[in-house]
Amino acid sequence: MKPVSEENQTLSIDSLRSTLSKLENSCKSMSGKNSNTTLVEKRRDAIKIGLNCLQNAWHGAEFSYSVETVRSAQCTLQELLPSIHKQYEKVKEGSAQKTLLQRRIASIELALEALEEHN
């Protein structure tokens, strides 16, 4: 994995934690409405695995997922990127939303890179 500054490590981990929190809240909200939560749960799990992988790469945190689980997370994260890029292109330049999406893209790309090393 390429070297990443401590500041970018913190920003990436915070971004994935925020994304994970949003997905967990979505799961809870959708469950209460008897909605199909399969896609949101799949994305939540992939973000969690990506977050754990980055924490392992940068801070030595435990990471014990099967190769199959890592591959599934990679696929899900790769599938997420195009829609985030589309959102990013539509958002006004200089806005807080643009910064948030920029960090989310960067953190997912770093997670994909880290996951590749566990594959």
Residue whose C-alpha is closest to residue 84's, from 97, 69, 70: 97
Cβ proximity of 108 and 114 under 8 Å: no
Q: What is the DSSP string of 49-110?
A: HHHHHHHHHHH-------HHHHHHHHHHHHHHHHHHHHHHHHSPTT-HHHHHHHHHHHHHHH
Q: How far is CA 82 from CA 10, 79, 88, 114, in A?
A: 24, 7, 10, 19
Cβ proximity of 40 and 22 under 8 Å: no
- pLDDT reported for residue 69: 97
- pLDDT reported for residue 1: 82
- pLDDT reported for residue 119: 75
Interatomic CA distance for residues 47 and 20, integer angstroms: 6
- pLDDT reported for residue 31: 83
Domains with residue ranges and CATH for the chain = 6-117 (1.20.120)
pLDDT per residue, tens digit, the chain (119 aa), is 889 999 999 999 999 999 999 999 999 998 878 888 899 999 999 999 999 999 999 999 999 999 999 999 999 999 999 999 999 999 999 999 999 999 999 999 999 999 999 87
- pLDDT reported for residue 93: 93
Interatomic CA distance for residues 17 and 25, integer angstroms: 12
- pLDDT reported for residue 34: 81
